[in-house]
């Protein structure tokens, strides 16, 4: 399903939003992160897929590959660390900690008794655990019933203490908040709720690094497809591009699972809303039942269309990227990473939908592949081959290019 957002605007980025998230703050966050040892040096690849573009009937299709951001395997490596650093700077102003020094572990003795906690579908918790390990503080991660054992083990590998619950993601968020109150820990969540906005803002601000790297290429896009979830990634990227490009910004389309349609429902209601489905989806990172109210403040005026897709469409998109072609590099993209491509395929398969969103033979489209095979077993089961096999084919393709 697809819905046009009547509140979307093509105008200058409002000062009311700039006072919350800005290019200036995003660039400061990016500078701090640039020296974190767990991030790979330089920008992540931006791949052109000309064969797939021709197949879809568009001029250009480019994919930003966040699986190469770090050993953590996803874009979340940009959000949790910067939120943790900014939290510590606010909590201990008298210590005069230096941001680069925090991420280098120079103050671990002073932070040994400081504990952070978060709920996660996997990637945010892994990034927070890695950041806490670097900083030297304690980390507790709450996992809901649908988080795979693979993802649990990947988080625990960074020294985090794991708490399992039987409910869904939204219930894990509530449990994490309750544990924080009981033990005087600090929640580092990527979703906001009443009275809790500073840290989710910092997480979203960290994602601006992706947008900054896109701007640096000098390329212009007519449409940008963004994953849904609670809305943090979409808000972080859309706000950055909107501030710089103003009324010339691209058309933004947000895609999410049909059973976790909280952003789609928010567009219908005109306010942050809850999903209407079961929430459980193969797109684990997007299986969120409630929109982040803070993210919605940015999405409501900037996202032009919201749409939902089915799980099998995501799986097909994973396989298409993994296969590659003569001119298209094979790409390792996880279940949540391909939502944008699945949405684009759905639209281009329908002349009426394509006309509605303005996609035609002149369109230049950007996708963000937000993660690699962060759960290798799940990836292999869905794609029909291992991530290692896909990476080997990618290297062979590069050798011939």
Q: What is the CATH number of the domain that holds 289?
A: 3.40.50.1100
Residue 197 counted as domain residue = no
**With contact defined as beta carbons under 8 Å apart, do 264 and 245 qualify?**
no
- Whether 93 and 161 map to the same domain: the answer is yes
Burial class (CB in 10 A: 0-12, 13-18, 19+), 201: buried
- Whether 227 and 173 map to the same domain: the answer is no
Residue 218 counted as domain residue = yes
What is the helix (H) or strand (E) element at residue 227, kind and residue range? strand 223-227
Q: What are residue 254's DSSP bridge partners?
A: 226, 306
Boundary-marking domain end, from 189, 216, 245: 189
Main-chain dihedrals φ then ψ at residue 43, nearest 5 degrees: -75, 155
Marked catalytic residue, from 64, 76, 170, 328:
76
Domain ranges, residue 101: 80-189
- Whether 311 and 374 map to the same domain: the answer is yes
- Whether 219 and 178 map to the same domain: the answer is no
Show the CA angle centred on residue 25, arms to residues 19 and 27, nearest 5°. Answer: 145
Query: What is the rounded CA–CA span in Å between residue 291 and residue 200?
Result: 12
Boundary-marking domain end, from 136, 160, 189: 189
- Whether 349 and 393 map to the same domain: the answer is yes
pTM for the model: 0.94
CB atoms within 10 A of CB 273: 19
Can you give the pLDDT of all 401 residues of the chain as single tens digits?
Answer: 999 999 999 999 999 999 999 999 999 999 999 989 999 989 999 999 999 999 999 999 999 999 999 998 899 999 999 999 999 999 999 999 999 999 999 999 999 999 999 998 888 999 999 999 999 999 999 998 888 888 899 999 999 999 999 988 888 989 999 999 999 999 999 889 888 999 999 999 999 999 999 999 999 999 999 999 999 999 999 999 999 999 999 999 999 999 999 999 999 999 999 999 988 899 988 998 899 999 999 999 999 999 999 999 999 999 999 999 999 999 999 999 999 999 999 999 999 999 999 999 999 999 999 999 988 999 999 999 999 999 999 999 999 97
Q: Dihedral sign, CA of 67, 69, 72, 74?
A: negative
Residue 334 counted as domain residue = yes
**With contact defined as beta carbons under 8 Å apart, do 164 and 180 qualify?**
no
Q: What are residue 65's DSSP bridge partners?
A: 369
Residue 198 counted as domain residue = no
pLDDT value of residue 119: 92
Residue 281 counted as domain residue = yes
Residue 250 counted as domain residue = yes
pLDDT value of residue 334: 96
121 a catalytic residue: yes
Categorise residue 168: left if φ over 0, alpha if ψ from -120 to 50, beta otherwise: beta
- Whether 167 and 283 map to the same domain: the answer is no
pLDDT value of residue 121: 81
Query: What is the rounded CA–CA span in Å between residue 318 and residue 84?
Result: 32
Marked catalytic residue, from 121, 202, 280, 304:
121
- Whether 141 and 287 map to the same domain: the answer is no
Which is nearest to 282 in space by CA: 254, 319, 252? 319
Residue 321 counted as domain residue = yes
Query: What is the rounded CA–CA span in Å between residue 176 and residue 341?
Result: 33
- Whether 105 and 44 map to the same domain: the answer is no
CA distances (Å), 312 to each of 99, 226, 319, 344, in order? 43, 18, 11, 14
- Whether 45 and 102 map to the same domain: the answer is no
76 a catalytic residue: yes
* Residue that the structure tokens 């993994």 belong to: 322
- Whether 385 and 306 map to the same domain: the answer is yes
Which is nearest to 370 in space by CA: 154, 65, 72, 147? 65
pLDDT value of residue 191: 87
Q: How many domains does the chain have?
A: 2
- Whether 61 and 208 map to the same domain: the answer is yes
Boundary-marking domain end, from 166, 189, 212: 189
- Whether 150 and 242 map to the same domain: the answer is no
Residue 194 counted as domain residue = no
């Amino acid at each position: 399903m697809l819905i046009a957002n009547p509140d979307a605007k093509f105008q200058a980025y409002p000062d009311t939003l700039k006072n919350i998230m800005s290019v200036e703050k995003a660039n400061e966050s990016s500078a701090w992160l640039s020296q974190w040892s767990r991030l790979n040096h330089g920008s992540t690849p931006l791949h052109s897929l000309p064969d797939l573009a021709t197949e879809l009937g568009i001029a250009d299709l480019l994919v930003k590959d966040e699986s190469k951001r770090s050993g953590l395997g996803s874009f979340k490596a940009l959000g949790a660390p910067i939120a943790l650093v900014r939290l510590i700077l606010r909590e201990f102003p008298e210590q005069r900690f230096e941001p680069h020094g925090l991420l280098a572990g120079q103050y671990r003795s002073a932070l040994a008794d400081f504990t952070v906690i978060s709920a996660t579908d996997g990637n945010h918790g892994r990034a927070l655990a890695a950041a806490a390990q670097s900083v030297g503080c304690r980390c507790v991660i709450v996992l809901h019933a649908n988080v795979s054992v693979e993802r649990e083990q990947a988080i625990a590998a960074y020294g985090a203490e794991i708490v399992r619950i039987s409910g869904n993601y939204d219930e894990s968020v509530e449990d994490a908040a309750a544990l924080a109150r009981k033990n005087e820990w600090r929640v580092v969540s990527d979703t906001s709720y009443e009275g809790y906005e500073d840290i989710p803002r910092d997480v979203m601000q960290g994602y601006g690094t992706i947008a900054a790297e896109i701007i640096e290429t000098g390329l212009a896009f007519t449409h940008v497809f963004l994953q849904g979830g609670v809305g943090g990634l979409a808000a972080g990227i859309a706000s950055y591009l909107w501030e710089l490009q103003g009324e010339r910004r691209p058309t933004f389309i947000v895609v999410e699972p049909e059973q976790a349609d909280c952003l789609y429902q928010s567009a219908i209601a005109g306010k942050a809303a809850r999903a209407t489905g079961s929430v459980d989806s193969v797109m684990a990172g997007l299986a969120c039942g409630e929109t982040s109210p803070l993210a919605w403040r940015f999405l409501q005026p900037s996202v032009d269309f919201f749409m939902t897709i089915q799980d099998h469409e995501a799986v097909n998109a994973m396989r298409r990227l993994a296969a590659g072609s003569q001119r298209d590099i094979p790409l390792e993209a996880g279940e949540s990473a391909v939502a944008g491509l699945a949405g684009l395929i759905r639209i281009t398969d329908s002349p009426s939908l394509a006309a509605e969103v303005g996609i035609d033979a002149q369109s230049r489209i950007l996708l963000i592949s937000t993660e690699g095979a962060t759960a290798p077993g799940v990836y292999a089961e869905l794609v029909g081959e291992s991530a290692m096999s896909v990476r080997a084919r990618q290297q062979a393709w590069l050798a011939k290019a």
